[in-house]
Structures are given as structure tokens and as C-alpha cells.
Amino acid sequence: MTSALLYAFAGVALCGIGLFGFLRLQHLLRKLMAFNLIGSGVFLIMVGLAQRNGQPDPVPQALVLTGIVVAIAATALAVVLIRRYYHLSGQTTLAEPARENVRPKARAVNREGAPE
């Protein structure tokens, strides 16, 4: 029983570190890494806690697998977005640029009214 608790506590620690990193770090990639850390922590807790009186319990294993798949998909999407964002605005953090970016539009009518 103690080994299960050990895994759980490790998971909790991982979540703590990840959460701290997520909130503190400004650089987007670092934030993403922190997010993955929290994810692994949660999966560790899930595996650690899910002992059904001694025998290994198949359900949490399946859940963790699905969780990992979802986490990977989310991370891939995040990386693509960050790369595109860096390409467009040269920014690597979410900070608003200094000037208000709504220029009074002169030319053709744009669907969104946002500068083309």
C-alpha cells in the first residue's frame, strides 16, 4: 500500500512543480513544458491511487493511455500555434504589444473588419 501512496505523492509533487512553472514562466514553450509536467503528475496519481485490493486494476491503465494521447494532441496543437504566432508577430510571450493595434482600415471591405 505504501508504494501506491509513494507514487501518488510523487504525482502530487510533480503537479505542484508544473503548476508553479505554468504560472511563473512567460515564455510560451516553457509554459507548454510545465503543462506536460502537470499532465504526467496527474497520470502518476491516477496509476498510483487506482489499486483495487492488491490486483492491478485495468480501468485506470486504459484511462491513462487515453489521457496521454490527448495530452500529446494538445501539445502538438500548442506548438503549431506558438510557431505560427512567433512567425507572425515575433513575440514569444503572451504580453500585449505596446500600441493599440487597431489601425483605421482604409482599403477593401474585410469580412471581419480586422486589418487585412
Q: Which residues bind another protein (CB under 8 A)?
A: 8, 15, 22, 28, 31, 35, 38-39, 42, 45-46, 49-50, 52, 57, 59-60, 63, 66-67, 70, 73-74, 77-78, 81-82, 84-85, 88-89, 91, 94, 96, 101-102, 104-105, 109, 111-115
DSSP class of residue 95?
P
Q: How far apart are CA 7 and CA 42, in angstroms?
A: 11
Let me know: does 6 contact 48? Beta carbons within 8 Å: yes
Minimum CB distance to another protein, residue 72 (Å) = 11
User: What is the number of other CB atoms lying within 10 angstroms of the CB of residue 41?
Assistant: 20
Q: How far apart are CA 50 and CA 54, in angstroms?
A: 10
Q: Which is nearer to another protein, 88 or 98 (CB)?
A: 88
Q: Which is nearer to another protein, 6 or 73 (CB)?
A: 73
Let me know: does 10 contact 42? Beta carbons within 8 Å: no
Minimum CB distance to another protein, residue 24 (Å) = 14
